[in-house]
């Protein structure tokens, strides 16, 4: 069924601008825009010459029909069908297009039995006029700004590439402040323009390079400073007199050390030495690095200080020593393994840069014991002046440092308690040695120096003994050394 919807030219406010002058209906979803035009339309291909053609749904005072089945007007349907025939696109509205619309409308009227025919009319408009365009039409027409004479004022020019865009398709870069930039130049992550992003990237690279250079420079300075310090230390060590004292504080306890400079000495005993054993084959030993040797044997006081919280406190009380005589007595009844435990703790509690606390090697021990002398008892022939042994001890240990020190200020290198060394016990090779550290394996660890219950011959610098690493005895203690790490 059909009914009149409006009459063109009637006083009712139903006159409409139709989106049909020219355009792409497929993209009509956007808002329509009215733009003021001058006589520059349509393009030459439309057949017009500077004229503007207007396709109306009907003549003045003729009815315009709605078709209920379609849900909209007869003219609209004719228009859509005619455009479909051109794949939905229309370059320009011209006479042939108007004829196609008219043919289609006639066919629809026949099919719907419309009594009063409605015919579209095509008229030429001259002079200034308004035209209605869709957003889609304006955006689709690349050549629109010039060919269709959309006013330049309505478009903005991209400062990056010079392209003209509608304002809505541009952005302002908050970094450089430039306006009207094409959206395609916008960085997805930062929303800045590509130029600013590139600039930031270059700046970041420069900064990273500067940072690298600064780190390299600091590293080089650090290395130079370190080698300078090392050289200065070497000079200092060369010039430091043997026996120089150094005090290391461990809590309230002071550990006194004596400097043993690098040097060469004869290790072992000559065949003529009284009381010697065959295992003391004399040979030359060079120690290339100086080291610090404990001035005394480790005391019961120091042991307790370092080993609190240790196994000893739980199992054996404050001190493992058999002679519970006092803090100033040498600790004894400690195994080689116990000593390693003590040294681990001492290194943790009293670290010294460039050095480690350790047992001396057998060669270091004998070198320190001789202190530059070659005789049997540190340069004297009177052991009684220098150490506690069977003849003078009264069957017990004695406070450390109560006898005369050797030439380098070291006490009790002879007697009082035997002292553990780091090395496995083995036979001397006989040849000259540099920095020897004993066999790589063995069953006994070297002990040196003799003790309160030994004869004088066992207290000679060259005398050698050994015990299993787990052995404990009331005449066996140790002395710490502070050895250079490199």
* Residues in contact with Zn ion by the rule CB under 5 A: 158, 160-161, 163, 173, 175-176, 182, 193, 196
To Zn ion, the closest distance from the beta carbon of 115 in angstroms equals: 58
At its nearest, how many Å lie between Zn ion and the CB of residue 155? 12
Taking the complex as a whole, how short is the minimal distance between the CB of residue 199 and Zn ion, in angstroms? Answer: 8
Nearest approach, Cβ of 147 to Zn ion (angstroms)?
A: 21
| 321-361-276 Cα angle (round to 5) | 85
- Cβ proximity to Zn ion: between 185 and 460 the closer is 185
What would you report as the CA-atom Rg of the chain, rounded to the nearest whole angstrom? Answer: 54
Which C-beta is closer to Zn ion: that of 59 or that of 179?
179
Q: Which residue number, 165 or 321, has a Cβ lying nearer to Zn ion?
A: 165
Closest contact distance (angstroms) between CB of 153 and Zn ion is 19
Dihedral sign computed on CA atoms, order 323, 326, 330, 333 = positive
Rounded Cα gap, residues 284 and 266, in angstroms = 5
Phi, psi for 171 (deg, rounded to 5): -145, 165
Closer of 175 and 473 to Zn ion (Cβ): 175
Answer yes or no: are the C-beta atoms of 336 and 469 closer than 8 Å.
yes
Q: By C-beta, is 187 or 327 nearer to Zn ion?
A: 187
Q: Which two tokens stand for residue 425?
A: 């016990």
Give me the least distance between CB of 196 and Zn ion, in Å please: 3
CA distance 392 to 384: 7
Which is nearer to Zn ion, 17 or 191 (by Cβ)? 191
Question: On the CB side of 445, how many CA atoms lie within 13 Å of its CA?
Answer: 23
Contact (CB, 8 A) for 292 and 393: no
Cβ neighbours for 471, distance < 8 A, ≥ 6 positions apart: 335, 336
Beta strands in 306-449 (DSSP E): 355-358, 418-424, 433-434, 445-448
> How far apart are CB 146 and Zn ion at their closest, in Å?
18
CB nearer Zn ion, residue 167 or residue 214 = 167
H or E element, residue 338 = helix 336-349
């Amino acid at each position: 069924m059909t009914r009149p919807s409006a009459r063109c030219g009637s006083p009712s406010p139903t006159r409409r601008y139709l989106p049909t002058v020219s355009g792409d209906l497929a993209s009509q979803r956007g808002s329509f825009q009215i733009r003021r035009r001058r006589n520059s339309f349509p393009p030459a291909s439309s057949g017009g010459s500077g004229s503007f053609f207007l396709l109306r749904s009907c003549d003045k005072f003729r009815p315009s029909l709605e078709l209920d089945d379609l849900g909209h007007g007869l003219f609209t349907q004719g228009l859509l069908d005619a455009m479909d025939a051109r794949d939905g696109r229309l370059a320009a509205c011209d006479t042939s297009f108007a004829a196609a619309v008219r043919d289609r409308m006639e066919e629809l009227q026949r099919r719907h039995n419309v009594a009063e025919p409605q015919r579209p009319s095509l008229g030429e408009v001259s002079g200034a006029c308004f035209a209605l365009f869709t957003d889609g039409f304006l955006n689709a027409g690349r050549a629109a700004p010039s060919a269709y004479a959309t006013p330049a004022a309505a478009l903005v020019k991209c400062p990056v590439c010079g392209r003209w865009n509608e304002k809505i398709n541009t952005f302002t870069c908050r970094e450089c402040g430039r306006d009207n930039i094409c959206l395609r130049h916008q960085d997805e992550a930062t929303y800045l323009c590509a130029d600013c992003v590139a600039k930031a990237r270059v700046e970041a690279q420069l900064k990273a390079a500067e940072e690298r250079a600064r780190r390299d420079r600091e590293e080089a300075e650090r290395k130079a400073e370190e080698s300078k310090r090392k050289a200065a230390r070497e000079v200092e060590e060369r010039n430091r007199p043997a026996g120089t004292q150094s005090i290391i504080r461990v809590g309230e306890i002071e550990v006194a050390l004596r400097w043993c400079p690098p040097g060469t000495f004869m290790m072992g005993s000559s065949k003529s030495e009284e009381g010697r054993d065959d295992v003391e084959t004399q040979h030359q030993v060079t120690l290339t690095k100086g080291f610090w040797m404990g001035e005394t044997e480790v005391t019961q006081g120091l042991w307790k200080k370092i080993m609190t919280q240790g196994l000893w406190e739980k199992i054996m009380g404050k001190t493992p020593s058999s002679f519970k005589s006092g803090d100033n007595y040498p600790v004894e009844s400690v195994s080689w393994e116990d000593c390693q435990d003590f040294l681990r703790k001492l290194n943790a509690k009293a670290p010294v840069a460039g050095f480690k606390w350790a047992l001396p090697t057998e060669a270091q021990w004998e070198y320190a014991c001789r202190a530059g002398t070659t005789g049997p008892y540190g340069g004297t022939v009177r052991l009684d002046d220098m150490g506690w042994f069977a003849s003078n001890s009264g069957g017990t240990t004695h406070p450390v440092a109560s006898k005369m020190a050797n030439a380098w200020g070291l006490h009790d290198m002879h007697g009082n308690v035997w002292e553990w060394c780091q090395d496995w016990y083995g036979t001397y090779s006989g040849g000259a040695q540099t920095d020897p550290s004993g066999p790589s394996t063995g069953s006994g660890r070297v002990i040196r120096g003799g003790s309160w219950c030994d004869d004088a011959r066992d207290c000679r610098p060259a005398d050698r003994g050994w015990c299993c690493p787990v052995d404990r005895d009331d005449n066996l203690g140790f002395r710490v050394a502070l050895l250079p790490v490199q």
